[in-house]
């Protein structure tokens, strides 16, 4: 007789220096269900899953499979128990082919020689059965992120895993890919596989999961059936207080032009066409202008061109009345703060402490240095003020290594730094990507507050909800050009979608929309 719960994690406690990541958490996964694990950044979701997968050893608590106590010392034990995991950041060998990646670690061999033919047959069967189409001979570095994720899923299926863990699988996917993934997950559940789905996107959880377990700050809050709950109560459970899912803001009162862009052209690295082609627009004081579009239509390069990370080949950028088309990044920083798209690559020096990161641009100011010597005391004091004011949580305060902080708090630290620099223009690129509702609410409020203080805000976002609720004007980018300017109050999501897909264009083309 089989137990109802295929996996039980009972009273798990896991500590890290300065923080209890999991405090007496219990999670029961039933056979054939999709069980969502919901929580803010740093709530301990990933830690809990790493414990289940054998990456961490808990200080207390036990794991049971089919009612039997088991010990998971490393990922190999997990594999033997039939537990597979798709990590948030894929664990694939870039220069290997898809097939090699799938069989890696579970190769069929004869006398020490690989038996790839058998493996290929098995992978092909699986991929056909679930409609997970991949090119087995392509190298991982050449395929899309969506396909890489399918490779990860195939890896689990190839190992005949029956418990599948998905760690924030939708963060990197396009809306279409998300839909496909949801369908695949439901298919797995129907076959009796059990799925643990880590997410903080409420829409997805409501759509796909049967039950939800909510964690908050390392503690267990509760487990509910999705049919008995709604988005609002879930987000309240997660954050611990009522959350506004809608942005509240007054109508904008735009003032003088702060940023003026004329015919900006930025060459592309990957192909011959320009990534940004003759884009013109203006951003005024006291308004949030949002650049909307599907990822990869030149938004990244547009921001690089504006901030100086990339050289523009043509066009003119005027900031606060000054031509900065060819100015250095540092010079542009005098009137512009920038929340970058890639917080690990650009936003933080990961091996620096939090306080060192807080003065990344400002260390030259007399407040923080004297005669070339850094005033350690003032840096510490400043960092502590920001940490408190913006509620940046970390293990050891100002001396925490940025690398060891959770993604949401890293982002909060960047936002604290950039907002506090107090510049006329704030460029925010996907500031809420990968964050939970509590943090999103907070960041949205910050952006609106900045606008109301008379700052010009240029927001680049891929989330339609965010675009519609936050912006005062929407500029849609498609293939490196601005194809339309929309008013969020009069337009619909459907219309915006048509512009983003390139199916619709404003009449007055070339006039900068």
Partner 1 sequence: MKEKGSTLLQKESTKSVLASLIAILIGMAVGAVIILIVGIFNSNLGLKGALEGIQLVFGGLFSTGRNAAGALTFGFNPTNMGNMLFRATPLILTGLSVAVAFKTGLFNIGAPGQYLMGTAATLILALSIPTSVVPAPLVWVIAFVGGCLAGAIWGCIPGLVKAFLNINEVLACIMTNWIAANLVTWLFDNGSLFENLQNHVENTKTAYIYKTSFNGVQTAKLGLDKLFPGSQVNGGIVVAIIIAILVYILMTKTTLGYQLKACGASRHAARYAGIADKRNIVLSMAIAGALSGAAAALYYLSGNTEFYWTSAYQTLPATGFNGIPVALLAASHPIGVIFAGCFMSMLDIVGLQMTNLTAYNEYITDVIIALIVYLSAFSLVIRMLISGRKKHKAAKVDAASTPQVPPPDDGGTAEKGGGEA
Closest of 361, 427, 364, 420 to residue 392, by C-alpha: 420
Task: Return the residues of window 259-318 that contact partner 1 according to CB under 8 A.
Answer: 307, 309
Binds partner 1 (CB under 8 A): choice among 73, 176, 328, 507: 328
Only one of the segments 92-100, 133-141, 272-280, 333-341 lies at the binding site for partner 1 (rule: CB under 8 A); that segment is 333-341
In the complex, minimum distance from the CB of residue 293 to partner 1, in angstroms, rounded to a whole number:
22
Binds partner 1 (CB under 8 A): choice among 333, 395, 397, 497: 333
In the complex, minimum distance from the CB of residue 374 to partner 1, in angstroms, rounded to a whole number:
6
Only one of the segments 74-82, 192-200, 359-367, 451-459 lies at the binding site for partner 1 (rule: CB under 8 A); that segment is 359-367
Which is nearer to partner 1, 59 or 207 (by Cβ)? 59
In the complex, minimum distance from the CB of residue 96 to partner 1, in angstroms, rounded to a whole number:
23
| Residue pair 280/262 in contact by the 8 Å Cβ criterion | yes
The CA distance from 478 to 468, in Å, is 18
Q: Name the β-bridge partners of 68.
A: 65
The CA distance from 206 to 235, in Å, is 12
In the complex, minimum distance from the CB of residue 408 to partner 1, in angstroms, rounded to a whole number:
19
Which is nearer to partner 1, 60 or 501 (by Cβ)? 60
Binds partner 1 (CB under 8 A): choice among 122, 219, 346, 367: 346
In the complex, minimum distance from the CB of residue 358 to partner 1, in angstroms, rounded to a whole number:
11
User: CA angle, corner 314, sides to 312 and 319, nearest 5?
Assistant: 70
| Residue pair 173/144 in contact by the 8 Å Cβ criterion | no
| DSSP state at residue 247 | P
In the complex, minimum distance from the CB of residue 15 to partner 1, in angstroms, rounded to a whole number:
9
Which is nearer to partner 1, 121 or 364 (by Cβ)? 364
Number of residues that bind partner 1 (CB under 8 A): 29
The CA distance from 400 to 4, in Å, is 43
The CA distance from 401 to 409, in Å, is 12
The CA distance from 256 to 135, in Å, is 53
Query: What is the chain's length?
Result: 513
Only one of the segments 165-173, 228-236, 350-358, 493-501 lies at the binding site for partner 1 (rule: CB under 8 A); that segment is 350-358
Closest of 295, 298, 308 to residue 278, by C-alpha: 298
Binds partner 1 (CB under 8 A): choice among 35, 65, 155, 338: 338
Q: Under the criterion CB under 8 A, does residue 363 sit at the interface with partner 1?
A: yes
Which is nearer to partner 1, 294 or 327 (by Cβ)? 327
Binds partner 1 (CB under 8 A): choice among 171, 206, 360, 498: 360
- Which H/E stretch holds residue 259? strand 257-267
| DSSP state at residue 308 | T
Which is nearer to partner 1, 62 or 135 (by Cβ)? 62
Q: Under the criterion CB under 8 A, does residue 81 sit at the interface with partner 1?
A: no
Which is nearer to partner 1, 60 or 183 (by Cβ)? 60
Which is nearer to partner 1, 98 or 306 (by Cβ)? 306
- Residue 250, Cβ neighbours under 10 Å: how many? 8
Binds partner 1 (CB under 8 A): choice among 47, 50, 127, 356: 356
| DSSP state at residue 344 | I
Which is nearer to partner 1, 128 or 364 (by Cβ)? 364
Residues 6+ apart with CB under 8 A from 287: 252, 254, 451, 456, 457, 472, 473
Which is nearer to partner 1, 6 or 348 (by Cβ)? 348
Which is nearer to partner 1, 10 or 401 (by Cβ)? 401
Task: Return the residues of window 374-403 that contact partner 1 according to CB under 8 A.
Answer: 374, 376
Binds partner 1 (CB under 8 A): choice among 254, 305, 340, 438: 340
In the complex, minimum distance from the CB of residue 369 to partner 1, in angstroms, rounded to a whole number:
5
The CA distance from 352 to 61, in Å, is 34
For 57-94, letters b (16+ CB in 10 Å) and e give: ebeebebbbeeeeeebeebeebbebbbbbbbbebebee
Which is nearer to partner 1, 114 or 329 (by Cβ)? 329
Whole-angstrom CA distances from 225 to 35, 206, 232, 315, 483 are 9, 10, 14, 55, 44
Which is nearer to partner 1, 245 or 360 (by Cβ)? 360
Residues 6+ apart with CB under 8 A from 498: 504
In the complex, minimum distance from the CB of residue 414 to partner 1, in angstroms, rounded to a whole number:
10
Q: Which two tokens stand for residue 434?
A: 């990968």
Question: What is the CA 333 to chain-centroid distance, rounded?
Answer: 25
In the complex, minimum distance from the CB of residue 335 to partner 1, in angstroms, rounded to a whole number:
12
Q: Under the criterion CB under 8 A, does residue 113 sit at the interface with partner 1?
A: no
The binding site for partner 1 (CB under 8 A) comprises: 59, 307, 309, 328-333, 338, 340, 345-352, 356, 360-361, 363-364, 369, 372-374, 376
């Amino acid at each position: 007789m089989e137990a109802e719960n295929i996996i039980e994690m009972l009273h798990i406690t896991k500590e890290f220096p300065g923080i209890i990541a999991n405090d007496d958490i219990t999670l029961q996964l039933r056979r054939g269900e999709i069980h969502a694990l919901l929580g803010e950044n740093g709530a301990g979701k990933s830690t809990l899953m790493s414990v289940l997968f054998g990456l961490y050893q808990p200080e207390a608590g036990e794991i049971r499979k089919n009612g039997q106590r088991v010990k998971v010392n490393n990922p190999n034990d997990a594999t033997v128990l039939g537990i597979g995991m798709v990590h948030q950041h894929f664990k694939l060998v870039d220069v290997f082919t898809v097939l090699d990646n799938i069989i890696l670690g579970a190769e069929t061999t004869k006398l020490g020689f690989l038996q790839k033919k058998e493996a290929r047959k098995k992978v092909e069967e699986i991929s056909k059965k679930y409609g997970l189409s991949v090119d087995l001979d392509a190298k991982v570095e050449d395929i899309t992120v969506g396909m890489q994720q399918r490779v990860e899923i195939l890896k689990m299926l190839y190992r005949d895993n029956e418990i599948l863990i998905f760690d924030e699988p939708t963060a990197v996917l396009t809306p279409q890919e998300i839909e496909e993934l949801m369908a695949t997950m439901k298919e797995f559940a129907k076959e009796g596989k059990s799925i643990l789905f880590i997410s903080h996107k409420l829409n997805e959880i409501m759509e796909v999961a049967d039950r939800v377990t909510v964690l908050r700050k390392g503690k267990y809050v509760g487990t509910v059936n999705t049919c008995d709950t709604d988005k609002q109560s879930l987000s309240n459970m997660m954050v611990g207080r009522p959350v506004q899912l809608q942005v509240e803001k007054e109508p904008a009162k735009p003032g003088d032009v702060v940023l003026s862009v004329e015919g900006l052209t930025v060459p592309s690295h990957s192909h011959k066409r320009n990534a940004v082609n003759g884009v013109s627009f203006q951003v005024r004081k006291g308004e949030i202008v949002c650049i909307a579009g599907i990822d990869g239509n030149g938004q990244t390069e547009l921001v690089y061109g504006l901030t100086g990370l990339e050289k523009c080949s043509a066009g003119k950028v005027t900031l606060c009345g000054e031509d900065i088309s060819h100015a250095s990044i540092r010079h542009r920083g005098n009137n512009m703060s920038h929340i970058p798209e890639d917080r690990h690559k650009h936003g933080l020096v990961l091996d620096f402490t939090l306080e060192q990161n807080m003065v990344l641009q400002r260390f030259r100011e007399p407040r923080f240095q004297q005669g070339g010597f850094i005033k350690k005391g003032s840096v510490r004091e400043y960092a502590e003020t920001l940490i408190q004011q913006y509620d940046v949580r970390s293990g050891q305060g100002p001396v925490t290594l940025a690398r060891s902080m959770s993604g949401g708090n890293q982002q909060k630290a960047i936002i604290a730094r950039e907002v506090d620099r107090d510049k006329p223009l704030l460029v925010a690129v996907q500031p809420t990507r990968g964050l939970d509702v509590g943090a999103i609410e907070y960041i949205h409020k910050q952006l609106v507050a900045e606008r109301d203080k008379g700052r010009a805000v240029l927001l680049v976002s891929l989330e339609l909800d965010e675009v519609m609720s936050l912006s005062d004007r929407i500029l849609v980018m498609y293939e490196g050009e601005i194809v339309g300017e929309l008013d969020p109050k009069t337009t619909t999501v459907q219309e915006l979608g048509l512009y983003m897909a390139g199916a619709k264009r404003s009449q007055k083309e070339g006039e900068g929309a």
